[in-house]
Structure 1
């Protein structure tokens, strides 16, 4: 019997599918235009208020070093609840929640070296890129 250790939220950016651990995901929002933040770091779109919590919204395409012209309109915000605050990652779409089995072997991703990318996995004949934005977002000031 396969033992499940974690679930992941699947989302799309450009032609690629990604999966992020569900453990730090607070909620998924339909896109809402954030208020700009003067002097913000590159990739920060702005801030939104979500039920009294200020959420820093980041472009998913910027985080993953993707050409924004290769991405459709980023229509959802994946809100992460981290010890350093709330962060929203703007993505094209959110598809599903999948199980990440403990015996899953991830492959290294030779063509993309990025601090948020953990590797890849095959699931239902689809390639998913495993990402975790927690450390990157926690390091933002």
Structure 2
């Protein structure tokens, strides 16, 4: 019996590289300016229509507590398909898809606490921060 390897999508914000599991990623879009949403909570950039589905677009820098001034222009939107709806995470660039290691090969992250950050992993001599935005997005109304 063949073992299935989970895959993740690698993206960059500022000097850091991140990876998010592919399991609930619907697609990756080139950046398009969202329509603002009056009264939206902090971190929400707006809404876009993706093939008839309304997608709430969130700033990746806000989600990960990064200084937007340290990031170049965020150029892609990673669209998540969650039970609570469609959410887009605005990131600087999307680099590739890679295999994720077994859970026991993921290291804890001691220098930065955040509910979206699950740990770190080494791949091809690069450090990646493993993130999962599902839980955060499901708390938005």
TM bucket (normalised to shorter chain) is over 0.9
Is the 1:4–1:102 contact (alpha carbons within 8 Å) kept by the matching residues of 2? no
SS of the residue aligned with 2:78? strand
d(CA) in 2 for partners of 1:103 and 1:84? Answer: 26
Q: CA-atom RMSD, angstroms?
A: 1.3
Q: Displacement, 1:5?
A: 3.1
SS of the residue aligned with 2:137? helix
* TM-score between both structures, scaled by the size of structure 2: 0.96
d(CA) in 2 for partners of 1:34 and 1:48? Answer: 5
Equivalent position of 1:57 in the other structure: 57
Equivalent position of 2:29 in the other structure: 29
Q: Displacement, 1:102?
A: 2.4
Is the 1:116–1:136 contact (alpha carbons within 8 Å) kept by the matching residues of 2? yes
> Per-residue displacement from partner, 1:4-59 (whole Å, max 9, x unpaired)?
43100000000000000000100000000000000101000000000000000000
Query: Is residue 139 from structure 1 mapped to residue 127 from structure 2 by the alignment?
Result: no
Equivalent position of 1:102 in the other structure: 102
> Per-residue displacement from partner, 1:80-125 (whole Å, max 9, x unpaired)?
0000000000000000000113265111111110000000000000
Runs of 4+ in 1 over 6 A off after TM superposition: none
Equivalent position of 1:18 in the other structure: 18
SS of the residue aligned with 2:54? strand
Query: Is residue 72 from structure 1 mapped to residue 72 from structure 2 by the alignment?
Result: yes
1:103/1:87 Cα in 2 relative to 1: closer, same or farther (>3 Å)? closer
